[in-house]
Amino acid sequence: PHERVNVKTQMETLLSPDVVQLLKMIGETAAAEKMNAFIIGGMVRDILLGQKGEDIDIVVEGDGISLAEKTAHRFEGTADVHETFGTATVTLPSGRRVDFTTSRTEYYETPAALPTVSRSNIKEDLYRRDFTMNAMAASLHPSHFGDLIDYFHGREDMKKKTLRVLHNLSFVEDPTRILRGIRFEQRFQFHMSKETTAFIHYSASAVSSLSRTRIIAEFQSLLKEADPVQSLARLDELGVLHAFFPGAVWTRQTKDVLKGYLDSPEQPKDLPEWFCILFCLYLTNPDTVKAAEAAAFTKKQKSVVQSTSFLLSLLNEKEWNSLGRFHSCVSRVSDEALFFAAIAADKKQAGFLLQYREKRSKLKPLLNGHDLKAAGLAPGPDFRDYLFSLEQKMLDEEITTRDEALHYIRQHE
């Protein structure tokens, strides 16, 4: 009932001759063993878009591992076999990798758990995928090389620039697909269909079954290719921002905060970008800053959250005008926390924080312990206090020279 679509010409135009050669050979070897082999997923999508897909995913109706081993042998590559999953990765001498999968259906024992594998056919393999545009295959069989397998009308959806999930449980089975969906919307300028966004809405509670590691990994892929402001706004629009990042809020200021971060020439170097961007979502409201601890992974990230929260509460207490007095409360607070507090604070406070950070970083001691001894002070724990109060006076520019410092110290004799 469907028109027969063949993409052989597109394959031959878009893919390099050695890849076409490789695919033909895989198809022939499979056919000789009474198996069927297909390219599948992203590569087929990219071919239909007129783009060159780099990853080669092969699905085999039959024995994927044996076909992988034959391919490795024929091209003098190596095969890395995963018997339990019926998969293998072949690495060719050129470094190119080809993934082989035995056509299968995955039965999820619990949502987001590891799949249990059983054999079945290509249609079921396609049915367990994320979006219709990623659920197409092209045959490698020599007698119908390039025939498009498109049970779920992916090609039609692509023409309409629609991103559509295959069934209502797709996001429940794998909630990371929500982030993938946003990534594909932006990459291809597609738009999710109405039911797709409704399914996302109903799947929000399944997000809690994902590990934070998986969420962060997928979030990083999203950041790598999409505009973070747009992606996060979309997550909020879909109603699942808080499901992925508990306690995060999208308010009217969020965009400004994010832009403040993205445009800053001084983004903290020792923190991963995903963390910094996420942290911005918690910075628009002093009450939510603490909630960012849930998004923090490492000790360092947690400490930045805590210190930022502390700084913001200090600024809320009163209006500060002495850098020296401020120093006595925050001398141990990190530069990163000062950076984030400045992003969250109003203009005047931000100016104060950045001035403090700048001056603190340039602070060079005018005196040391020997100078104090030489000045006639008895050595002891008070030395530290003297030197610290000197720092405070330097920050307030009450003391700028060594002589002034010595004069100040002598008052303590």
| Chain contacts with ligand CTP (rule: CB under 6 A) | 41-42, 55, 57, 129-130, 134-135, 174, 176-177, 180
Residue nearest to ligand CTP (CB): 42
What is the sign, positive or negative, of the torsion defined by CA atoms of 143, 145, 146, 152?
positive
Nearest-approach distance from CB 19 to ligand CTP, in angstroms: 15
Q: What span, in angstroms and rounded, lies between the C-alpha atoms of 106 and 124? A: 9
What's the angle, vertex CA 125, arms to CA 4 and CA 105, rounded to 5?
A: 150
Please choose, from the candidates 333, 332, 391, the residue with its C-alpha nearest in 3D space to the C-alpha of residue 359: 391
- For tokens 């973070």, the residue is 228
Please choose, from the candidates 217, 273, 283, the residue with its C-alpha nearest in 3D space to the C-alpha of residue 244: 217
- For tokens 């505009």, the residue is 227
C-beta closer to ligand CTP: residue 225 or 385: 225
Nearest-approach distance from CB 127 to ligand CTP, in angstroms: 10
Nearest-approach distance from CB 367 to ligand CTP, in angstroms: 59
Q: Which DSSP symbol is given to 6?
A: B
Nearest-approach distance from CB 180 to ligand CTP, in angstroms: 6
Nearest-approach distance from CB 3 to ligand CTP, in angstroms: 23
C-beta closer to ligand CTP: residue 188 or 383: 188
Nearest-approach distance from CB 117 to ligand CTP, in angstroms: 15
C-beta closer to ligand CTP: residue 133 or 248: 133
Strand, helix or coil for residue 114: coil
Nearest-approach distance from CB 356 to ligand CTP, in angstroms: 43
C-beta closer to ligand CTP: residue 189 or 321: 189
Note the residue count of the chain: 413
Q: What span, in angstroms and rounded, lies between the C-alpha atoms of 237 and 89? A: 39
Beta-bridge partners for 132:
none
C-beta closer to ligand CTP: residue 174 or 185: 174
C-beta closer to ligand CTP: residue 79 or 135: 135
C-beta closer to ligand CTP: residue 136 or 295: 136
Please choose, from the candidates 26, 51, 47, the residue with its C-alpha nearest in 3D space to the C-alpha of residue 38: 26
- Beta strands 148-149 and 137-139 are antiparallel
